[in-house]
Amino acid sequence: MPTPDGHHVVINGRKWRATDPAIPDDVRDRLQHALMAARRAIAQAHRDDDPEAERRARSRVQTAKVALGERGTPWWEQTAQEREDRWSSGLRQLDD
C-alpha cells in the first residue's frame, strides 16, 4: 500500500521507498528484470559458496535499486533530468 505522498510503500508493516514513478514502463521492466536476475545470482553464489560471485551480484542489485530510485538520493528530491540520468546510467551499467 502506498503512503499518501507516494514516496513509500508499506508491505507487512514495513515502509520501503517506492520505485520512481517517472521511469518509463519499458525501462522499469528492464531494471526490474536485472534486479531479479541479480537476486537469483546471489542465491546461486550462496549455493556455490562463491564469495566473489556474491559480491558481483550484490553490486548489481545495488545498481538496479539506485536506478529504480529505491536507494540513493530520493527521487522526489531530484530534478527531472537527474532522475533520467540516474536510470539511464543504471541501464548502461547493467547492460555491460
DSSP of 47-91, one letter per residue? HHT-HHHHHHHHHHHHHHHHHTTSSSS-GGGS-HHHHHHHHHHHH
CB 44 within 8 A of CB 84: no
At residue 29, the pLDDT reads: 98
Domain extent at residue 88 = 23-95
Q: What is the pTM of this model?
A: 0.93
Average pLDDT along the chain: 97
Is 57 part of any domain? Answer: yes
Does the residue 5 lie in any domain? Answer: no
Domain count, the chain: 1
Residue 4 lies in a domain: no
Full pLDDT tens readout for the chain, 96 residues: 999 999 999 999 999 999 999 999 999 999 999 999 999 999 999 999 999 999 999 999 999 999 999 999 999 999 999 999 999 999 999 987
In a domain, residue 6? The reply is no
Q: How far is residue 60's CA from residue 71's CA, in Å, rounded to a whole number?
A: 13
Asked if residue 14 belongs to a domain, the reply is: no
Q: Report the pLDDT value the prediction gives residue 96, as an integer from 0 to 100.
A: 79
* Residue 11 placed within a domain: no
Given this model, what pLDDT does residue 94 score?
Answer: 96
76 part of a folded domain: yes
